[in-house]
Structure 1
């Protein structure tokens, strides 16, 4: 879940009618008390992409391949985990687990050449408070984001749902100077987009953009492999499949590809074939898809092509 010159990107056009940075992993307190590196406006032709997930590894699963493609082209990518992941394990927890997960996130980012920030909010206790909303607003402003990626507020996990709500709540406020005034407001609202998910209520995911990640699938798997506590311990344990996790490192990566990098969903496949043609669209094995959020800048086709320059 080959060469960059052969990559595929697809869009649902009908919906538009109306060097890589260093890796860091910081706590929320650090993010506000100490100055983070901010990105220059995109006058150099490079994009500033920021993605938010509820936990370390969430962004990697939904956009790790796309992030690898951006990084390979010299665009700037930051992943942000809104919680520190201190509850997601069957035998570990608290500060020790949070430190482990922060280190895993840092390693995952290093492997594909992106920046990774972990905010110090407790796992399993996330709420859409003003405090956390302002953390997110600051992150988007500091990065001078052109594109913001996040989950939809439709999910089984409350942290995932509230991350989506928090991003919706922040979408307009990033341009309001009197909100979080310690961080200069953006002059232009970024484009906000949702990660793909399989939930159907209250409405199913709509793949406005689908990106072929065939040529970077090994990079995505390598990134996921860095999250040892999740990929090989917690998630298999939750699924009652811990005994299926291979011991050998190479076998583990093969197992990850088999279990975490499935074929595109039918709606995503339809978008692939609509844009790229039936032959090539049907040949894509691995893809990541995104839905346009109504609350940010509403992109036209030209802007979408600029934001996804693959």
Structure 2
């Protein structure tokens, strides 16, 4: 019953998306994460910046996250996590969607290749972002594989023929990670999220099962000893900011040279928080000028 309700929620969400105006000249960006938190963690700061300029951003969870907690599982957890990312998306000013695939069971199958192709086409994406296909989690890896497969198929007319193919191949990008083999993440794009970091925290704050309870790797001891209680909103928010501030500032420092290249010496040197992306060669390969069009933030004051 719970699974049926979740399916109905997702179908209604998809219906709403189809009704949107897709011809307003704004960019259309879609981000795929393996679970209901991945796309938000990796790209929320940049998503906010796009959304503020009126561009359309959708954050997609490819699995429903139904085993992603140390204490809860199944349909109730899937519903909880779908509600969390919906609340997060509202804070970010973007759209969310959760695909009804079991957490931990994603496979790079023909069925899922068609599904991802369909979702990208329906959004009429200009930019597609996902994990690299090298990661500790099989769901993360297979999202990357499916991204690579779709990077060609979205323009092929006779696969998923009921949805019109894209006339122009999107730019496909990988979100950042720290894995070194077979080769380390090598960004082509770095975005300052200094002016959207607090709003990113507002969104992540809604992902309670993951941000504060530790998800599948959490425990009662972790929640009790490490995380401020839910009753102390100020302490909780400060705790979250310390954790994410360290992550985003580390990314800025690691790729400082790229920030300076894109923003100039003065502004690039001053960036505190950053999100970074690598071009997937299987999609369209943007020129430096096109990157500045797709990421229209570098001239901001």
Matched position secondary structure for 2:41:
helix
Please, which of 87, 90, 93 is the counterpart of residue 110 of structure 1? 90
After superposition, the CA RMSD in angstroms is 2.3
- Is the CA contact 1:141–1:186 (under 8 Å) kept in the aligned structure 2? yes
Matched position secondary structure for 1:253:
helix
Shift in alpha-carbon separation, 1:34–1:72, aligned structure 2, 3 A: closer
> Relative contact order (C-alpha < 8 Å, sep 6+): which is higher?
1
2:131 alignment partner in structure 1: 151
Following superposition, the deviation at residue 29 of structure 1 comes to 9.7
Following superposition, the deviation at residue 41 of structure 1 comes to 5.2
- Is the CA contact 2:128–2:172 (under 8 Å) kept in the aligned structure 1? yes
1:134 alignment partner in structure 2: 114
Please, which of 200, 208, 216 is the counterpart of residue 196 of structure 2? 216
Please, which of 9, 25, 30 is the counterpart of residue 50 of structure 1? 30
Please, which of 283, 287, 298 is the counterpart of residue 300 of structure 1? 287
| Large movers: runs of 4+ above 3 Å | 25-36, 38-42, 238-241, 264-267
Shift in alpha-carbon separation, 1:28–1:202, aligned structure 2, 3 A: farther
Runs of 5+ in structure 1 lacking a partner?
1-24
Give distance in 1, aligned partners of 2:16 and 2:158: 20
Following superposition, the deviation at residue 112 of structure 1 comes to 1.4
2:260 alignment partner in structure 1: 273
Give distance in 2, aligned partners of 1:276 and 1:92: 45
Following superposition, the deviation at residue 97 of structure 1 comes to 0.2
What TM-score does the superposition give when structure 1 sets the normalisation length? Answer: 0.86
Question: In the comparison of the two structures, how many residue pairs are matched?
Answer: 285
Shift in alpha-carbon separation, 1:210–1:115, aligned structure 2, 3 A: same
Shift in alpha-carbon separation, 1:119–1:275, aligned structure 2, 3 A: same
1:259 is the counterpart of 2:243: yes
Following superposition, the deviation at residue 281 of structure 1 comes to 1.6
Matched position secondary structure for 2:213:
helix
Give distance in 2, aligned partners of 1:305 and 1:83: 32
Following superposition, the deviation at residue 149 of structure 1 comes to 0.6
1:237 alignment partner in structure 2: 218
Give distance in 2, aligned partners of 1:293 and 1:225: 30
Give distance in 2, aligned partners of 1:26 and 1:221: 26
Shift in alpha-carbon separation, 1:61–1:239, aligned structure 2, 3 A: farther
Runs of 5+ in structure 2 lacking a partner?
none
- Deviation track 1:54-111 (CA, whole Å, cap 9, x = no partner) reads 0011011110000001111111000100000000101100000000000001100111
1:6 alignment partner in structure 2: none
1:13 alignment partner in structure 2: none
